[in-house]
Amino acid sequence: MKYSIKTGAVNNIITDCIVVVVWNKGELSEEAKLADKLSDKSLSKIVRTEDFTGKLGETLTIYNPAGLKTKRLLLLGGGDDKKLNSKNAAKMLKAGLDAANKLNAGSVHFCLASIEVKSQNSIWICKRLAQETETASYRYNETKSKKAKAVATKLISIFPASGTRRKSIELALKQGAAIGSGINRARHLGNLPGNICTPSYLASEAKELGDKYNSLTVKILSEKQMSRLNMGSLLSVSAGSAEEAKLIIMEYKGAKSDSKPHVLVGKGVTFDTGGISLKAGAAMDEMKFDMCGAASVIGTMATVAQLKLPINIVGLVGAVENMPSSTATKPGDIVTSMSGQTIEVLNTDAEGRLVLCDVLTYAERYKPRSVIDIATLTGAAVATFGSHVNALLSNNDALAGSLIECGENSLDRVWQLPLWEEYQSLLNSNFADIANLGGPRAGTITAACFLSRFTEKFKWAHLDIAGSAWDSGAQKGATGRPVALLVEYLSQQKV
Ligand code: BES
Ligand code: MN
Ligand code: ZN
């Protein structure tokens, strides 16, 4: 998509579609008023019929509006102008883009100069428009013989609020577009089936990114190399699979090479059958999405490389397939993690933590400023939060606070659960240092407690994205969360 800034009067803009906002009860925004005046009060007339009331997300197209040089004028409902917070503004933009896409408009101009979003500066809406534009143009095509039609829109222009520098608006558009494309990359990987998106496939996708960006170095460790590092826990998960496990290491350098990095760790279980503790059949296909944490790390690394963030960042992905077979790990088996701690595998379906713990230990070598792991870790997180909010657990309150705030700004929200001492004893084992199962209750917390045994050497936060990583039902598909949150967090870090 191409983006441009156009600050000409609305009657001089030549484009396929102009978008103006109309508030609740048909109250015209400044731009809509101007269009109304130029077009012989055609907007006022429509609003008076109450066919269009300006409800949030409502749209109506006027063809060949008099007095304007556009083929279409799209009225976009903004709802109550006093209630236009970031969430409603994003919803409004998305509705406008979806409507414009249906119209086959090659170029679309958004008149947003008078639109104020609560507790955001005037740049925010430009950034969000670009992000929404990218995500609205995503289509899944890879394994379909009949490809979905690509969106017709090729050019988005914007009339931003006055008083903002052109440079900062251009930057905001770039940032938003890069975030959107990172989200789409994560969705693409998440949506691919398990027989295509294997650990080796994820590794080659990461490698390709490394080839594309000079600032990004990608290394892949084989099972043999991981076994030399004593990653007995991670390897116990792939023991039953014919697919080789991979440790994907993506090192992004945006600062001096001795500057300590921030580290992202993604759970990349490309299919989770449960292993010998086999899952029930219903909706098991959705366990192809069990690598969405990994996909969000890869998507985020692509975005930060595109944006040339001035810090160092390492993305690590533990990529494995969890299968039952005669070589699979069995309940009761005891494995030794890279940290030296022994683990009793009481349930082979609690495999995510077994993968993550070794990758987290590997992260120690970077002496990281912070480590965030992202994982579709527990069904309990879905039960707790549904699909809107991700679970956050952390050993550092400042880090947790900053992630909560970034979640608000990016509309990719997280909420904290306690990581209190009382829960730790649920992981006691009679035969090993720790069990991989904390019993039937407080599953998201006990899973994080398990990880906390491997993260004592750094500031760490865990995001359980089991509820938000994909949608089920008719709209089944990966969401690309929490790429927006991660990019927001990394963008705020200074060297
Ligand atoms: N990948 C699943 C978690 C999951 C389940 C995510 C359903 C989204 C929807 C994970 O590996 C798993 O199986 N977790 C178990 C842990 C349990 C055995 C302690 C779970 O949540 O049931
Ligand atoms: Mn599992
Ligand atoms: Zn899993």
Share in percent of the chain as helix, strand, coil (round to 5): 40, 20, 40
Q: What is the pLDDT of residue 143?
A: 98
pLDDT of residue 495: 80
* CA 364 to ligand 2 centroid distance, Å: 25
**Does residue 184 line the site of ligand 1, with CB under 6 A?**
no
Calculate how far, in angstroms, residue 276's C-alpha sits from the geometric centre of ligand 3: 13
Question: How far is C-alpha 104 from the chain's CA centre?
Answer: 28
Domain boundaries, the chain: 2-162, 184-491
- Residue 95 has what pLDDT? 98
* 436 CA: nearest ligand 1 atom: 19
Catalytic residue among 253, 260, 279, 330: 279
Q: Does the beta carbon of 464 lie inside 6 Å of ligand 1? A: no
What's the gap in Å between 376 CA and the centre of ligand 3? 6
347 lines ligand 1 (CB under 6 A): yes
Q: Which atom of ligand 1 is nearest to the CA of 290?
A: 1
What local confidence, expressed as pLDDT, does residue 168 receive? 96
Interatomic CA distance for residues 153 and 78, integer angstroms: 22
pLDDT in tens, the chain (495 residues): 999 999 988 999 999 999 999 999 999 999 999 999 999 999 999 999 999 999 999 999 999 999 999 999 999 999 999 999 999 999 999 999 999 999 999 999 999 999 999 999 999 999 999 999 999 999 999 999 999 999 999 999 999 999 989 999 999 999 999 999 999 999 999 999 999 999 999 999 999 999 999 999 999 999 999 999 999 999 999 999 999 999 999 999 999 999 999 999 999 999 999 999 999 999 999 999 999 999 999 999 999 999 999 999 999 999 999 999 999 999 999 999 999 999 999 999 999 999 999 999 999 999 999 999 999 999 999 999 999 999 999 999 999 999 999 999 999 999 999 999 999 999 999 999 999 999 999 999 999 999 999 999 999 999 999 999 999 999 999 999 999 999 999 999 998
378 lines ligand 1 (CB under 6 A): yes
Considering only CA atoms, which residue is closest to atom 5 of ligand 1?
Answer: 379
**Structure letter (DSSP) for residue 441:** S
Bridge-based pairing of strands 333-336 and 15-23 is unpaired
CA–CA distances in Å: residue 199 to residues 184, 189, 319, 320, 494: 19, 11, 5, 6, 33
The pTM is what? 0.98
**Ligand 1 probe mutation, 376, 377, 378, most atoms within 8 A of CB:** 378
207 is a catalytic site residue: no
The CA distance from 317 to 419, in Å, is: 24
Residue 5: strand pairing partners? 158
**Beta-bridge partner residues of 435:** 344
Find out whether the beta carbon of 352 lies less than 6 Å from any atom of ligand 1. Answer: yes
Atom 3, ligand 1: which residue's CA is nearest? 378
Measured by CA distance, the residue closest to atom 17 of ligand 1 is 350
| Beta-ladder partners of 460 | 371
Ligand 1 pocket mutation pick from 349, 470, 472, 481 by most atoms within 8 angstroms of CB: 349
Which atom of ligand 1 is nearest to 380's Cα?
A: 21
Provide the pLDDT for residue 156. Answer: 97
Output the CATH code of domain 184-491.
Answer: 3.40.630.10
Task: Tell me, using a 6 A CB cutoff, whether residue 382 lines ligand 1.
Answer: yes
Catalytic residue among 353, 369, 413, 459: 353
> Which DSSP letter does residue 11 get?
G
**Cα(459) to centroid of ligand 2, in Å?**
26
Ligand 3 center from residue 274 Cα (angstroms) = 7
Mark the residues whose beta carbon lies below 5 A from ion ligand 3: 269, 272, 290, 352
Question: If phi over 0 gives left and psi between -120 and 50 gives alpha, with beta otherwise, what is residue 473?
Answer: left
What is the fold of 2-162? Leucine Aminopeptidase, subunit E; domain 1 (3.40.220)
Active site residue 279: yes
CA atoms within 13 A on the CB side of 233: 33
3-state secondary structure of 224: helix
Give residue for tokens 């590997």.
Answer: 362
H-state helical runs in 148-286: 166-191, 199-212, 223-228, 232-238
Q: Would you say the CB of residue 380 lies under 6 angstroms from ligand 1? A: yes
How far, in Å, from the CA of 183 to the mean position of ligand 3? 21
* Tally of CB atoms within 10 A around 104: 13
